[in-house]
C-alpha cells in the first residue's frame, strides 16, 4: 500500500490497545542494530510491544525486544511473521531490500515506504531526487557524474576533468565512508573504479568543506511535518565523531535554509517517518557557495542521538509517533548538547591492548548520558555506543565534553 493510500485510511495505533484477537499493540522494525534498539526503547516506554526481524542472535535490538524473529531480512516466512505480529512496521537501515518493505506493505502500514527507501539506497536516484526538488529546496548536490559502464568512464575521463580531485562512491551499500575512494587523477579514477569492482558509482567533485550539518525531519501519514534544528557534525576517517547541537552550532542563516531544504526534500516524496538529510557547508568563495546537500538517510540517524537526552521528544519517539499515526508535536530542545561517538577503539589502549574505559570518571562528570548498545565485541571503527553531554550553557557542555573525550582517549579533541 502506498503512503497516499494510508494517508486516507491510517487509524492511529494506540499504545496499550489490543486487536480483535486480544493481542497487544505491537510495532515492528526490520534490522537489529543500535538504531533498532533505541527505537524499541522509545516504543516500549510508550507502552507498545515490539518485534525485531534480525538474523543475528545477539543483536542490540533483538536482545531488548518482546519478539525477535531470527531470519534473513528478506525471508518470506520471517516477513510474514513480522506482519502477523505487528500493526505497523519500520526499518532501521536503508540496505534492506525494497522488496521486503513492499511485501510487508501489502498487509501493514510501513513507514518509510519501499519507494522512498529505494531512492535513498541508490546515490544515483538520490541525486536525481535532490535535483528534482532543487527549485523548492534551494540546494543542489555537489557536481557529479554517473559511472555505470566503461563508456561512462571514457566520457568522464575525456570531459569531466572539473570533477577531479573527487570522490568515487558506489551507488549502493556505502556507509561510514565505506565504498568510497578519493581520486586525484584520471589514472587514479580508472584504477579506483576497477578496485570497486566496476559497479555503478558516482564520481563527486571534492568540495572545500568548512563544516557539515544534518537535519532531522519527521513527517506523518497526514503530511504534517516537524523538524529538529540542524546540528553540526564532525567526522574522523569518514565516521561521525562529534555532533554539536546548540544554538549557533550552525550559523543561523544556514540553519534556516538547511531546515527548509530538508522539509522540502521530505515533502517532495510524501515521506512518512523520520528522515535525516546531510549537508555540506562550503567555502562561500567557491562557485557553489554555501549549502550543498550530501545524502539522506530514511531513518533516525547517528547525528540525532542527542535528541534522546536534550529534547522533549527524541528522533526515536517521533519515529514511533509517525508510523503509528499518533500526533507529531514540534519537539523542543531543552539543553545544549554535544554527542561523542564511542567506537570500538575506546576499548583499546595506546599500546593496542584491550582495556575497560574509565566509566567511573566519565560518569562522575555532570550531565553525561552514556548509551552502550550491548555489543559484546569491541572492534576498531565499530559503533559501540555514544555519550551525550548536556548542561545549562554551551560553555559548560564544551568543557565537560572535552574532559570526557580526554578521559576516553577520543580523537578530534580540537573539534569540541
Ligand atoms: P554515512 O556514514 O553518512 O552513511 P557515507 O559512507 O554514506 O556516510 P558520505 O556521507 O557520502 O558517505 O561521505 C562521508 C564523508 O566524506 C562526508 O561526511 C564528508 O566528510 C566526506 N565527503 C563526502 N563527499 C564529499 C565531497 N564531495 N567533498 C568533500 N568531502 C566529502
Ligand atoms: Mg554521510
**Domain residue limits, the chain:** 3-110, 143-205, 209-415
Structure confidence by residue, pLDDT tens digits, 95-138: 788 889 999 999 999 999 999 999 999 999 999 999 999 988 88
User: Best of 139, 141, 167, 304 to mutate for ligand 1, by most ligand atoms within 8 A of CB?
Assistant: 167
Average pLDDT over residues 50-54: 98
At residue 5, the pLDDT reads 47
Q: Give the integer Cα–Cα distance in Å for 61 and 52.
A: 7
Q: What percent of the chain has pLDDT over 70?
A: 95
Structure confidence by residue, pLDDT tens digits, 333-376: 999 999 999 999 999 998 999 999 999 999 999 999 999 999 99
Structure confidence by residue, pLDDT tens digits, 218-276: 999 999 999 999 999 999 988 999 999 999 999 998 999 999 999 999 999 999 999 99
pLDDT band at 2; cut points 50, 70, 90: very low
At residue 225, the pLDDT reads 97
Q: Is the pLDDT at 8 greater than 70, yes or no?
A: no
Domain 209-415 CATH assignment equals 3.90.780.10: no
Does the C-beta of 212 come closer than 6 Å to ligand 1? yes
What is the atom index within ligand 1 of the atom nearest the CA of 180?
6
CB 164 within 8 A of CB 185: yes
Average pLDDT over residues 173-196: 89
Does the C-beta of 234 come closer than 6 Å to ligand 1? no
Residue 110 grid cell? 510501513
273 or 177, which is more confident: 273
pTM: 0.94
φ/ψ region of 22 (left if φ > 0, alpha if ψ in -120 to 50, else beta) reads left
pLDDT band at 1; cut points 50, 70, 90: very low
At residue 10, the pLDDT reads 83
Structure confidence by residue, pLDDT tens digits, 274-322: 999 999 999 866 555 599 999 999 999 999 999 999 999 999 999 999 9
Domain 3-110 CATH assignment equals 3.40.50.20: yes
Structure confidence by residue, pLDDT tens digits, 323-336: 999 999 999 999 99
Does the C-beta of 204 come closer than 6 Å to ligand 1? yes
Residues with CB under 5 A from ligand 2 (ion): 278
Query: Nearest C-alpha to atom 5 of ligand 1 is from which residue?
Result: 175
93 or 374, which is more confident: 374
Q: Is the pLDDT at 40 greater than 90, yes or no?
A: yes
- The ligand that comes nearest to the alpha carbon of residue 167 is 1
Residue 411 grid cell? 580523537
Count of residues making up the chain: 416
Residue 164 grid cell? 577531479
Average pLDDT over residues 139-165: 93
Average pLDDT over residues 195-222: 95
112 or 3, which is more confident: 112
Nearest to 200 by CA among 122, 243, 136, 148: 148
How is domain 143-205 classified at the architecture level of CATH? 2-Layer Sandwich (3.30)
Q: What percent of the chain has pLDDT over 90?
A: 86
At residue 287, the pLDDT reads 53
Average pLDDT over residues 74-86: 97
End-to-end Cα, the chain, rounded Å: 45
Residue 140 grid cell? 543542489
Does the C-beta of 349 come closer than 6 Å to ligand 1? no
At residue 38, the pLDDT reads 98
Q: Which of 61-65, 176-180, 313-317 has the lowest mean pLDDT?
A: 176-180
Nearest to 302 by CA among 33, 35, 31, 121: 35
Q: Give the integer Cα–Cα distance in Å for 270 and 229.
A: 21
Does the C-beta of 94 come closer than 6 Å to ligand 1? no
Amino acid at each position: 500500500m502506498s503512503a497516499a493510500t494510508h494517508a486516507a485510511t491510517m487509524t492511529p495505533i494506540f499504545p496499550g490497545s489490543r486487536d480483535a484477537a486480544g493481542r497487544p499493540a505491537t510495532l515492528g522494525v526490520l534490522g537489529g542494530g543500535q538504531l533498532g534498539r533505541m527505537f524499541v526503547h522509545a516504543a516500549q516506554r510508550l507502552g507498545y510491544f515490539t518485534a525485531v526481524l534480525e538474523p543475528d542472535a545477539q543483536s542490540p535490538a533483538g536482545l531488548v525486544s518482546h519478539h525477535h524473529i531470527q531470519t534473513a531480512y528478506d525471508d518470506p516466512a520471517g516477513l510474514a511473521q513480522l506482519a502477523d505480529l505487528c500493526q505497523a512496521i519500520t526499518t532501521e537501515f536503508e540496505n534492506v531490500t525494497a522488496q521486503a518493505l513492499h511485501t510487508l506493505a501489502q498487509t501493514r502500514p510501513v513507514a518509510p515506504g519501499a519507494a522512498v527507501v529505494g531512492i535513498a539506497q541508490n546515490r544515483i536516484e538520490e541525486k536525481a531526487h535532490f535535483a528534482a526538488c532543487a527549485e523548492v529546496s534551494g540546494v543542489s548536490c555537489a557536481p557529479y557524474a554517473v559511472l555505470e559502464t566503461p563508456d561512462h568512464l571514457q566520457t568522464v575521463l575525456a570531459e569531466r576533468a572539473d570533477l577531479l580531485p573527487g570522490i568515487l562512491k558506489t551507488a549502493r551499500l556505502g556507509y561510514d565512508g565505506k565504498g568510497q575512494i578519493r581520486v586525484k587523477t584520471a589514472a587514479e579514477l580508472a584504477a579506483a573504479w576497477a578496485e570497486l569492482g566496476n559497479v555503478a558509482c558516482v564520481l563527486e567533485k571534492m568540495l572545500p568543506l568548512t563544516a557539515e550539518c544534518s537535519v532531522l525531519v519527521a513527517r506523518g501519514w497526514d503530511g504534517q511535518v516537524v523538524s529538529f534544528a540542524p546540528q553540526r557534525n564532525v567526522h574522523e576517517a569518514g565516521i561521525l565523531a562529534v555532533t554539536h547541537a546548540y544554538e549557533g552550532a550552525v550559523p543561523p542563516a544556514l540553519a534556516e535554509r538547511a531546515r527548509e531544504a530538508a522539509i522540502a526534500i521530505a515533502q517532495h516524496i510524501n515521506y512518512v517517518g523520520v528522515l535525516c538529510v546531510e549537508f555540506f557547508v562550503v567555502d562561500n568563495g567557491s562557485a557553489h557557495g554555501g549549502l550543498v546537500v550530501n545524502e539522506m538517510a530514511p531513518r533516525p540517524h547517528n547525528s540525532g542521538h542527542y535528541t534522546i537526552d536534550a529534547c522533549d521528544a527524541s528522533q526515536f519517539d517521533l519515529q514511533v509517533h509517525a508510523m503509528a499515526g499518533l500526533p507529531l508535536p514540534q519537539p523542543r530542545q531543552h539543553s545544549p548538547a554535544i554527542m561523542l561517538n564511542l567506537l570500538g577503539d575506546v576499548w583499546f589502549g595506546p599500546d593496542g591492548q584491550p582495556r575497560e574505559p574509565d566509566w567511573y570518571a566519565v560518569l562522575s562528570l555532570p550531565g553525561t548520558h552514556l548509551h552502550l548498545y550491548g555489543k559484546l565485541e569491541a572492534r576498531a571503527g565499530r559503533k559501540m555506543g555514544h555519550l551525550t553531554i548536556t548542561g545549562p550553557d554551551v560553555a559548560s557542555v564544551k568543557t565537560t565534553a572535552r574532559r570526557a573525550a580526554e578521559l576516553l582517549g577520543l580523537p578530534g579533541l580540537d573539534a569540541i
